[in-house]
Amino acid sequence: MDFVLISSIGAVFMAIFVMFIRMKASKKPASAKKIILPPIFMSTGALMFVVPYFRVTPMEILEAATVGMLFSVLLIKTSSFEIRDSEIYLKRSKAFALILIGLLVIRFIGKMVLSSSIDYGQLSGMFWILAFSMVVPWRIAMYMNYRKLHQELYDTGNSKTT
């Protein structure tokens, strides 16, 4: 039970950190690199599955990935870009912070309920899969939206110069 509490406290601090990063990111122009790199960096966490303690069953993988992809829809809906000063910026969304807090609460409740029936290592692996399955579709959607706006900006720039 101590692991669950400690990891939940860690998750709260990570969520606060993400909110600050998101607010800071909206002040600077977006780039493809800033959108693509976080899931790549996060993918190194898959090395946890080398250790037998963290391995999950195929059904647990499917469950965690499905929930993660469902949660990603909320993040996709609250992430959009805008063109300002001939640059592409991430729009601020008050709903994003609320959704992030809601996801954190759901995660905490899920951890409390599931920790009594699933080993802590497996549960950790499942939550990593859930998070990765949430971040990857979200970032893909962000990248597609970014590319669309980038193309519009580029087309508008070309039409003005000719």
User: If you average pLDDT over residues 85-103, what whole number do you get?
Assistant: 83
pLDDT at residue 110, as a whole number: 83
Q: What is the CA radius of gyration of the chain?
A: 18
Question: What residues make up the domain containing 54?
Answer: 2-159
C-alpha span between 109 and 154 (Å, rounded): 46
Contacts 24+ apart (CB under 8 A), 100-109: 100/15, 100/18, 100/19, 101/15, 103/71, 103/74, 103/134, 104/11, 104/12, 104/15, 107/8, 107/11, 108/8, 108/11
* Tally of domains within the chain: 1
pLDDT, tens digit, 9 for 90 and up, residues 12-55: 787 778 777 767 767 889 999 999 999 999 999 999 999 999 99
pTM for this predicted structure: 0.81
Convert the pLDDT of each residue in 110-157 to its tens digit.
888 887 888 888 988 998 999 999 999 999 999 999 999 999 888 865
